């Protein structure tokens, strides 16, 4: 029975890998029509600040996959025990010291372990020399991904990511199964809606406590909720803010918080909702699966599809399954 369990886990892992590769194929569609008027090459996107409004970088990648983009580089620096420190160097090679405030802060640091456990969202302090410091958010051993979400003054919003290893014995945690309800700190949070690859779709999160809807959510960083999505397999990063803002005369402080989200590809994602109530920030987590691979899956080809029919050349029905 042990073998069967392990095979099952392995198959799931393969499905995730295929899903990710498939997503990349869609993004870098070789059949995309060629623009008839050619770009003049050269500086490309680096000098056009109007081109993008979000964290998606000009390379067409989701945020957080690059450690260096548009001349800005994320560099962890040595720090005393119990502290995490880093800096961002700019196009001139010097540490950046001037940042715009976005959502109440100049720097948003998000960390998660590579197995998508241990998510934290913190706000470091900036020293005059450009070093950011924060009490370490890395809770335990393993491979962590740290995302710096910021806007350098005079530049565009960026999310850079870097791997950080915390030594020790790692117990990798399986990704929790998809669910539409979860509990955190005595709150129940439900999720309605499904993310769609390449298409904006609403996700509504509803907060209740002791069976009663929570109607007095507190603003946190200028919103009633912040939603971060990380893609399984590469931790592509997506940060979404809700429809409407506190004090705009139409947005209610719960129990519903609605986000318009667009995920970059099919695949599994872990969603992290930060909300504030009772003077504390709480984080509700969900696993969601985006897309309908069956609608798009290739019907022929050398590679078996993760959910497709059994490969004919194996000729042993039932082998490896159940």
Residues in contact with Cu ion by CB under 5 A are 108
The token pair that represents 78 in the structure block = 């040595």
What token pair was written down for 109?
Answer: 């640091």
Closest distance between Cu ion and the C-beta of residue 129, in Å? 22
Name the residue nearer to Cu ion (CB basis): 19 or 225: 225
CB of 181 to Cu ion, least distance (A): 25
* Least separation in angstroms between CB 30 and Cu ion: 37
Residues 6+ apart with CB under 8 A from 246: 219, 222, 223, 224, 253
How far the first Cα of the chain sits from its last, in Å, is 10
Q: How far apart are CA 192 and CA 185, in angstroms?
A: 21
As measured in angstroms, the least distance from the Cβ of 108 to Cu ion is 3
Specify the residue, 136 or 265, whose C-beta has the smaller distance to Cu ion: 136
Distance of alpha carbon 25 from its chain centroid, rounded?
19
Helix, strand and coil in the chain, % to nearest 5: 10, 40, 50
Please name the residue ranges forming H helices in the chain. 2-27, 293-296
Which of 251, 239, 286 lies closest to 53, judged by CA? Answer: 239
Closer of 108 and 270 to Cu ion (Cβ): 108
Distance of CA 69 to the CA centre of its chain: 17
Shortest separation between residue 205's beta carbon and Cu ion, angstroms: 18
Residue with smaller CB distance to Cu ion, 44 or 101:
101
The nearer residue to Cu ion, 110 or 235, going by C-beta atoms, is 110
Q: How far apart are CA 250 and CA 248, in angstroms?
A: 6
User: Residue 184 and residue 125: Cα distance in Å, rounded?
Assistant: 28
Q: How far apart are CB 148 and Cu ion at their closest, in Å?
A: 10
Q: Which is nearer to Cu ion, 72 or 272 (CB)?
A: 272
Q: What's the sign of the alpha-carbon dihedral 120, 58, 231, 199?
A: positive
User: Least CB distance from residue 274 to Cu ion, whole Å?
Assistant: 8
218 vs 215: CA distance, rounded Å: 9
Choose between 74 and 266: whose C-beta lies nearer to Cu ion. Answer: 74
| Cα–Cα distance, 181 to 192 (Å, whole number) | 9
Q: Least distance to Cu ion from the beta carbon of 110, Å?
A: 7
The nearest distance, CB 99 to Cu ion, in angstroms, is: 12
Nearer Cβ to Cu ion, position 87 or 108?
A: 108
Q: What is the DSSP letter of 40?
A: -
Minimal CB distance to Cu ion: which residue? 108
Q: Tokens 């992290």 sit at which residue?
A: 272
Residue where the block lists tokens 């998606």: 56
Alpha-carbon torsion (184, 190, 193, 194), positive or negative: positive
- Choose between 26 and 103: whose C-beta lies nearer to Cu ion: 103
């Amino acid at each position: 029975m042990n073998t069967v369990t392990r095979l099952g886990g392995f198959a799931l892992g393969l499905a995730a890998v295929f899903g990710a590769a498939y997503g990349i194929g869609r993004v870098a569609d070789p059949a995309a029509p060629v623009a008839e008027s050619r770009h003049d090459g050269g500086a490309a996107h680096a000098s056009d600040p109007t081109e993008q409004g979000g964290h998606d970088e000009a390379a067409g990648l989701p945020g957080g996959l690059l450690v260096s983009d548009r001349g800005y580089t994320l560099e962890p620096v040595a720090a005393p025990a119990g502290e995490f420190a880093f800096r961002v160097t700019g196009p001139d090679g010097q540490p950046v010291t001037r940042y715009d405030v976005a959502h109440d802060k100049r720097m948003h640091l998000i960390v998660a372990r590579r197995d998508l456990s241990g998510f934290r969202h913190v706000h470091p302090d900036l020293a005059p020399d450009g070093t950011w410091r924060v009490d370490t958010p890395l809770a335990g051993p393993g491979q962590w991904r740290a995302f710096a979400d910021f806007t350098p003054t005079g530049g565009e919003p960026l999310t850079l990511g870097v791997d950080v290893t915390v030594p020790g014995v790692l117990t990798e945690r399986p990704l929790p199964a998809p669910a539409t309800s979860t509990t955190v700190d005595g709150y129940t949070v439900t999720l309605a809606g499904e993310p769609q690859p390449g298409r904006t779709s609403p996700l509504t999160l509803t907060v209740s406590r002791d069976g009663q809807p929570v109607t007095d959510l507190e603003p946190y960083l200028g919103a009633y909720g912040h939603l971060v999505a990380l893609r399984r397999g590469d931790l592509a990063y997506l940060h979404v803010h809700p429809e409407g803002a506190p004090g705009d005369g139409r947005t209610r402080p719960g129990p519903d918080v609605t986000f318009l989200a667009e995920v970059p590809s099919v695949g599994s994602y872990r969603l992290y909702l930060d909300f504030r109530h009772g003077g504390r920030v709480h984080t509700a987590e969900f696993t969601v699966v985006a897309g309908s691979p069956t609608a798009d899956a290739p019907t022929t080809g050398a590679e078996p599809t993760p959910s497709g029919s059994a490969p004919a050349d194996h000729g042993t029905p039932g082998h490896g399954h159940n």
